[in-house]
Structure 1
């Protein structure tokens, strides 16, 4: 069983309202992540300590590397190509032109280079969000409607996809076919009252699923069968997602949020909204680049 080998520590003191979407970009040996509410994209080079940031034209839920260069960004109204060289954004598609109250929230890439990403109600109340699959030609909704979708995450063997109904406190799983179709939908984990709300999921090299907990002060590691293996406690209440990086993919980067806190809460959680890091003995795996 994998173990955490260090305690979570603040690495970048941003105090952001809603940091999200950490992703290790292997070709750059760097971490990218976003602050949705501040419309920012951040980059950290751990080897040199170099930091960079860009302004996005709207709320930005994720950035993921595209094969051949550049990134795909999930903005409020749709997908855009993001070029960090000049900070430009070029629209690709808008999956929900009839839902102006929605925004894009989280995403990943499967072994075939297909982009999987979610939408959600920006007001966090209406069941208008879903998970989409985009292969560069067609964009298709794949899951039932929820108010706040998160994930998805794909297992290292490419055969399972996990996605989250945050408000419903449920992590779902499905079998992912070679053609990109989902089958066998099932409940993977259901959280109870007081445990927090499941946020971004990610898989490690053993196929275990790490779930960040919003208002849960922790991230949890579950076996592929849904058994709770480990809980990593944080000094802040809202953890949004983790990513594995570093030369051996054993350094974990965790994004957190502060938007749910009032003035008293901010005094109690001065590190809320920072980027955190800790180390583990079971690595992650390199996220494929999107072929879109």
Structure 2
């Protein structure tokens, strides 16, 4: 295991209920992230230190860049676009019929501009993983998931990673970049029996995985073969996701949650719901945006 890591600092005193999905936007050198249950998409500008938010009009699980001044959103059961100039949200596509307790969760784009996003069904294990292509085609990629969560790709685009938080496992798949197919699912990181759960993740330039540990007070770096390399302690019980950003992609941004914590737990975890940053750990991979330019479908 590597030596001790530098300490993260509080970047945004957000006190979010369920901060998630940090997404670095290189053209504007700024950070997007969501507060799922407050229906908010946040935009943080490191140059000014300001954090503003947009109303998604619904539970929002994740966002990704989708062209100039636009984001693609996975909301409770649909996809939508957000215009960040006039703050309008335009529904794009109904994906799943409403089911009690089921909603979309984490997602991001691959290097071909395809948007991957998953749903969670903690009680029934009927969550799904989808791929939405730039030509408007929707593909069902995986089924039988309890809590579809952190996903990413190896630097060579030959391996795809997907987290099922309830199963305490990060899975690896063989990934065909040209077709977008995934095959040969196998456990990469197995945390069965641990007192915490893997949540959102990111992949660094060396191919290592950084996974936020819900109820674990930390982010853990794993080698591509799944063994632990480094444990980054955090002053919050429920870190949720992380991504690399900054001008050189050398800053790790981390979101967190306060939802479900008792008053006593929040006293021990005062910064729950805040956003953190730490530098000097590794260099990340570029964020990819949705490459579609097709017209929005009217619902």
Q: Normalising by structure 2, what TM-score?
A: 0.92
Q: Is the 8 A contact 1:4 1:279 kept in 2?
A: no
Q: CA RMSD in A?
A: 1.6
1:126-171 CA-partner distances (Å, limit 9, x unpaired): 2121211110322122123222110221122211111111011011
Deviates more, 1:261-270 or 1:95-104: 95-104
CA drift of 1:5 comes to 5.4
- Give the Cα separation in 2 of the matches to 1:34 and 1:98: 21
What residue in structure 1 maps to residue 149 of structure 2? Answer: 150
1:186-221 CA-partner distances (Å, limit 9, x unpaired): 111110323410101110111111111000111111
- Give the Cα separation in 2 of the matches to 1:37 and 1:213: 19
What residue in structure 2 maps to residue 127 of structure 1? Answer: 125
**Distance change in 2, residues 1:98/1:210 (3 Å):** same
Deviates more, 1:105-114 or 1:89-98: 89-98
CA drift of 1:281 comes to 3.9
- Give the Cα separation in 2 of the matches to 1:9 and 1:27: 24
**Secondary structure, aligned partner of 2:143:** coil
What residue in structure 2 maps to residue 91 of structure 1? Answer: 91
What residue in structure 1 maps to residue 20 of structure 2? Answer: 20
Structure 1 residue runs of 5 or longer lacking an equivalent are none
Deviates more, 1:278-287 or 1:228-237: 278-287
4+ aligned runs moved over 4 Å, structure 1: 1-5
**Secondary structure, aligned partner of 2:38:** coil
- Give the Cα separation in 1 of the matches to 2:232 and 2:192: 18
What residue in structure 2 maps to residue 9 of structure 1? Answer: 9
**Secondary structure, aligned partner of 2:144:** coil
CA drift of 1:30 comes to 0.2
CA drift of 1:68 comes to 4.3
- Give the Cα separation in 1 of the matches to 2:152 and 2:260: 25
